[in-house]
Chains A and B, each alone.
Chain A
Amino acid sequence: MMSPGDKTYLSVNKRRKKTAAAQKKSSKPARRGWIGRLWKPVLLLAGVLMGLLIPWVVYLNYQVTTEFEGRKWDLPSHVYARALEIYPGVSLPVQDLEMELRASGYRAASPVTRPGQYRVSGSSVEIYRRSFRFHDGAEDASGFLVRISAGVVADVISVADKRQLDLVRLEPAEIASIYPLQKEDRSLVKITDAPQLLVTGLQAVEDRHFKQHPGVDLRGVLRAVVANLKAGKAVQGGSTLTQQLVKNYFLTQDRTVARKFNEAIMALLLEMHYDKSEILDAYINEVFLGQQGAYAVHGFGQASLFYFDQPLDRLEPNQIALLIGLVKGASYYNPRRHPERALARRNQVLSAFAETGLLSDAQARQQASTSLGVTQEPRSRGTRYHAFVDLVRRQLAQVYREEDLKTEGLRIYTTLAPSIQEKAQHAVTDGLKQLEKRGLPAGLQAAMVVADVATGEVRALVGDKDPNRAGFNRAIHARRQIGSVIKPLVYLLALEHGNEYSLVTRIEDEPITLRQANGSDWSPDNYDGKSHGEVTLLQALTRSYNQATVRLGLEIGVANLVNRIQQLGVSAEVDAVPSVFLGAVELTPLEVTQIYQSLAAGGYSVPLRSVIAVLTADGNELVRYPLRMVPQPHRDAIGVLNYALTQVVEQGTAKALPGLLGSNTTIAGKTGTTNDRRDSWFVGYTRDHVAVSWVGKDDNSPAGVTGSNAAMHLWADLFRQLPFSAVDLRMPDGAFWLWVDGESGFLTGQACERAVQVPFLDGSAPTRSTACLGAQQENEESFWRKLFGKKKN
């Protein structure tokens, strides 16, 4: 099989022979007379021209074949949010559903007649969903009614047949497009998938002899010349579709003779090498059809989305006619800016359809009577959630080059929940303003990460107090000391040794001085400047006592702590020095989220994910990121620790949280403050979500912030707007609940004074009991004696 390149080479050789022959002829002696005298310069001129022309044609041929052969449009990659699943029982207030619909580009309409519209009436929302290709299959366009009662979906009913639906998915919001440098936007359409009317109509209007001509249509040119002469101005162009393609593809828009010449030659060459359908296929994807801001809209596929917000195969004849009409001048006939011109042009095209028999006269008239049907505004484009898209790029950077993202037209399905993202952004932006009003210094920055506990899917990410600013992304890149946020790991390591420690084990909260590697002494203070004597592990953790924590840490060993941090999915280097016990370790909010995801999920670490799957432009799965879990050791101890972290909220440093939330639902959390109040951290988790917030100054100067006075407020601002459920405190195998005396930590009876329930690991239960428990057991025994007349065994 000969490649086009070989062909080029052969034709070049042939022509070179001819040239050589011509040169031989010209070297013959000249005849006499004026003809004879002229002959020489004419031949010379012809020789020179041929000598120039042939390499030129060869050059053009090379350009046409290599460019066209390797034609691959740079397609922007599209990034999608997660698809919203709607089913009876899901918590989904009407305003959240509306937020999701708007994020997906739906418009309110009454009545709802087209895909992409919705209507809210009271607590019912009617949605006409667009068809959409998900990473795991396609969904058709369909209408359904979602009835919501008290913020929970009561039922979903199909509009078509009134059937109750168990589950529907909304098409995901497009949150970003990663563009090639040329700033061209395309949505590729194969010629075989394009509507027939588009393919035939295009020829009817632009190039009726497309099937017959060799690239240049002399009859067309003559007809155009005649028409133009008659009209006294240029009313008709004689360019074939092939010439137009060449012009779009290879040449500038100058109207010079040289350009026309090149265009004709290249059109002929193109037709020599490729068949008509390939040329048409390129044409329908290349032609310029509009402009959206800095981005040029190329091809009918993208134009259909741009003007009608519909895929090409769903267009009505009048809409196809409008797009074909735009070929003549997309800005002159811009239907949004010049609707009258556009309407006239469209109807002209419809007449051409009728004239060539593509539509009957009646059809054409009916179609011409419709309105333009373009959407008011094109769907917003560009990146809406910069911070999250950073994370997407970071995850994909492990597999793809940035270049591929910009040119391969990938479809990237992510985990972002637009409604949660919007709420997180508000929580950060408004929350910081509130903090400043309450007297905290100006110029604070913040970050927030929200992830799904069970799946590790990142639902929202905020990296700046101005979420629209694309720049330094604190959620991903700001490495800050984490302070007391580390402490739960110190206690976890202790609890793992069930024979030595339980939550009621007593430790000393007394001053301690350590000699550091540089020879200086280190004497950590407590936040309140006091030492608290003998306290239980539970008290020390919930009240975040530094001295007790360092003492406990020294018993478990700093190397073990560093190991555990890494085991929990953090790759950052951590120095094994005692100050690590108090959080002298710099981590990003994202890394902190990873650590706490493991705890929140009961010891099942799931690598945080922002991308679920990537598809190629033609819908083939390129890569999928399935859910993977890494069970941590000692999940029984993690179960016990989770309880302790709920006590931080119930009675410890985060006890203001329920008030801020207006809810007493069981939540686990931990505050964190660093030296000189530079950083404020709060990590909290409900049954379903784990979220981390950070507040501080970019220059790491003292900011007057503590975990509970700043970051916790932002966290509460978010969760006040989210539905949430209580942390599950069911203990895994190996741990169980006991009633103990809140003061002494002795076993006690439920009815006894100060009785509290605390989880213990097997083998760590208190050995001593309160007098009250003894009396209670005595009573029970006497009950059995009375009943059976003998002692219970």
Chain B
Amino acid sequence: MVRRKISLGELLALAVSFSLFLGACASTAPGPPAPAENEVSSRVREPAKQDSEGVQVFPLQNAAVKELMADAGTAESMGDYGQAATLLERALRIQPRDPEILQSLAEVQLQVKDYGQALSFATRSYDLGPRVGEICSRNWHTISVSREHLGDHSGSDEAAEKARKCMNTKPRSL
């Protein structure tokens, strides 16, 4: 039988906890209602939430990062994407391999239509992340949207397919 070492990333994957929510509860999930034209909400976060069907990811973040990410979230909701990116970069200096921070940076890049960078950050987030669950789905939805804007339509479809598989494929590293 072939077996592998358990690495840090795999521990992170173990930190993914699955908790099924009732349909009624799912509709009360946090997050402000976003305008329809906001691609990040409509094409990344919402579908990821649906794909994951209430599966929640709880990454191991320290309080400093949480504070910075909350501030970045506020800046983003006010449309101040430059400040959001600056705060996320600060968070990344504290936890340079945090998939949540990287994915948030990817989403900020989508907001400012820098699809090349959105693609880079989402891919890096996937590489370092649990490769399963909601964040995995956000990774691939971001990649899909970015590729579409960059004219790579087949790549976009492929990524959308991978987003759907984030929930029903057992991660290779587990």
Chain A residues near B (Cβ < 8 Å): 85, 87-90, 135-136, 166-167, 452-455, 457, 602, 604, 624, 626-631, 635, 687-688, 728-730, 732-733, 736-739, 747, 749-750, 757, 776-777, 780
Interface residues of B in 85-127 (CB under 8 A from A): 85-87, 89-90, 92-94, 96-97, 105, 117, 119-121, 123-124, 127
- B124 near A631 with CB under 8 A, answer yes
16 inter-chain pairs at a CB distance below 8 angstroms, sorted by A residue, are A85-B64, A88-B63, A90-B94, A166-B62, A167-B68, A454-B97, A455-B93, A629-B120, A629-B124, A631-B120, A635-B127, A732-B127, A733-B172, A736-B172, A776-B1, A777-B1
Interface residues of B in 110-162 (CB under 8 A from A): 117, 119-121, 123-124, 127-128, 131
Q: Which of A85, A602, A630 contacts B127 (CB 8 A)?
A: A602
- B4 near A757 with CB under 8 A, answer yes
- B22 touches A (CB below 8 Å): no
Collect the chain B residues with CB atoms within 8 Å of residue A730's CB: 7-10, 173
Interface residues of B in 10-58 (CB under 8 A from A): 10
Collect the chain B residues with CB atoms within 8 Å of residue A604's CB: 120, 124
- A167 near B9 with CB under 8 A, answer no
- B123 near A631 with CB under 8 A, answer yes
Collect the chain A residues with CB atoms within 8 Å of residue B127's CB: 602, 635, 732-733
Q: Which residue of A lies closest to B11 (CB)?
A: A730
Q: Is the interface of A mostly helix, strand, loop or mixed?
A: loop
Q: Which residue of A lies closest to B83 (CB)?
A: A136
Collect the chain A residues with CB atoms within 8 Å of residue B66's CB: 166
Given A167-B67, A635-B127, A728-B97, A88 contacting B85 (CB threshold 8 A): no
Q: In the bound complex, how far is the Cα of B127 from the Cα of A167, in angstroms?
A: 28
- B3 touches A (CB below 8 Å): yes
Collect the chain B residues with CB atoms within 8 Å of residue A90's CB: 94
- B79 touches A (CB below 8 Å): no
Interface size on B, residues (CB 8 A): 39
Q: A85-B64, A729-B5, A757-B5 are in contact. List 17 more A-B contacts (CB 8 A).
A: A88-B64, A90-B94, A166-B66, A167-B64, A453-B96, A454-B92, A626-B85, A627-B89, A629-B117, A630-B120, A631-B119, A631-B120, A635-B127, A730-B7, A730-B10, A733-B172, A738-B2
Q: Which of A455, A628, A732, A749 contacts B92 (CB 8 A)?
A: A455
Q: Which residue of B lies closest to A82 (CB)?
A: B93
Collect the chain B residues with CB atoms within 8 Å of residue A135's CB: 86
Collect the chain A residues with CB atoms within 8 Å of residue B173's CB: 730
Q: Which of A85, A631, A728 contacts B7 (CB 8 A)?
A: A728
With a 10 A CB-CB cut-off, give which of B64, B89, B123, B131 has the most chain A CB atoms.
B64
- B3 near A166 with CB under 8 A, answer no
Collect the chain A residues with CB atoms within 8 Å of residue B82's CB: 624
Rounded to whole Å, the gap between the CB of A488 and the closest CB of chain B is 20
Collect the chain B residues with CB atoms within 8 Å of residue A635's CB: 127
Given A631-B120, A730-B7, A136 contacting B1 (CB threshold 8 A): no
Q: In the bound complex, how far is the Cα of B119 from the Cα of A624, in angstroms?
A: 21
Q: Which of B8, B63, B85, B105 contacts A166 (CB 8 A)?
A: B63
Rounded to whole Å, the gap between the CB of A770 and the closest CB of chain B is 12
Nearest first, the 7 A-B pairs at minimum CB distance are A454-B96, A730-B9, A87-B64, A167-B64, A166-B63, A737-B4, A629-B120
Collect the chain B residues with CB atoms within 8 Å of residue A628's CB: 117, 120
Q: Which residue of A lies closest to B62 (CB)?
A: A89
Given A455-B89, A739-B3, A749-B1, A728 contacting B9 (CB threshold 8 A): yes
Q: In the bound complex, how far is the Cα of B3 from the Cα of A747, in angstroms?
A: 11
- A87 near B62 with CB under 8 A, answer yes
Collect the chain B residues with CB atoms within 8 Å of residue A630's CB: 120
Collect the chain B residues with CB atoms within 8 Å of residue A87's CB: 62-64, 94
Q: In the bound complex, how far is the Cα of B62 from the Cα of A87, in angstroms?
A: 9
Q: Which residue of A lies closest to B124 (CB)?
A: A604
Q: In the bound complex, how far is the Cα of B67 from the Cα of A166, in angstroms?
A: 7
Collect the chain B residues with CB atoms within 8 Å of residue A688's CB: 96
Q: In the bound complex, how far is the Cα of B117 from the Cα of A630, in angstroms?
A: 8
Rounded to whole Å, the gap between the CB of A474 and the closest CB of chain B is 28
Interface residues of B in 67-90 (CB under 8 A from A): 67-68, 82-83, 85-87, 89-90
Q: In the bound complex, how far is the Cα of B3 from the Cα of A737, in angstroms?
A: 8
Rounded to whole Å, the gap between the CB of B109 and the closest CB of chain A is 9
- A136 near B87 with CB under 8 A, answer yes
Collect the chain B residues with CB atoms within 8 Å of residue A626's CB: 85-86, 89
Collect the chain B residues with CB atoms within 8 Å of residue A627's CB: 89, 92, 105
Rounded to whole Å, the gap between the CB of B147 and the closest CB of chain A is 13
- B123 near A728 with CB under 8 A, answer no
Q: Which residue of B lies closest to A137 (CB)?
A: B83
Q: In the bound complex, how far is the Cα of B149 from the Cα of A417, in angstroms?
A: 39
- A736 near B62 with CB under 8 A, answer no
Given A167-B68, A629-B120, A88 contacting B172 (CB threshold 8 A): no
Q: In the bound complex, how far is the Cα of B10 from the Cα of A737, in angstroms?
A: 13
Rounded to whole Å, the gap between the CB of A665 and the closest CB of chain B is 13
Rounded to whole Å, the gap between the CB of B136 and the closest CB of chain A is 11
Q: Which residue of A lies closest to B127 (CB)?
A: A732
Given A87-B62, A455-B89, A624-B82, A737 contacting B96 (CB threshold 8 A): no
Collect the chain B residues with CB atoms within 8 Å of residue A166's CB: 62-64, 66-67
Q: Which residue of B lies closest to A765 (CB)?
A: B2
Q: In the bound complex, how far is the Cα of B112 from the Cα of A624, in angstroms?
A: 15
Q: Which residue of A lies closest to B67 (CB)?
A: A166
Collect the chain B residues with CB atoms within 8 Å of residue A452's CB: 93, 96
- A88 near B62 with CB under 8 A, answer yes
Collect the chain B residues with CB atoms within 8 Å of residue A733's CB: 127, 131, 172
Rounded to whole Å, the gap between the CB of A728 and the closest CB of chain B is 6
Rounded to whole Å, the gap between the CB of B5 and the closest CB of chain A is 6
Q: In the bound complex, how far is the Cα of B105 from the Cα of A455, in angstroms?
A: 13
Collect the chain A residues with CB atoms within 8 Å of residue B10's CB: 730
- B92 near A780 with CB under 8 A, answer no
Rounded to whole Å, the gap between the CB of A219 and the closest CB of chain B is 55
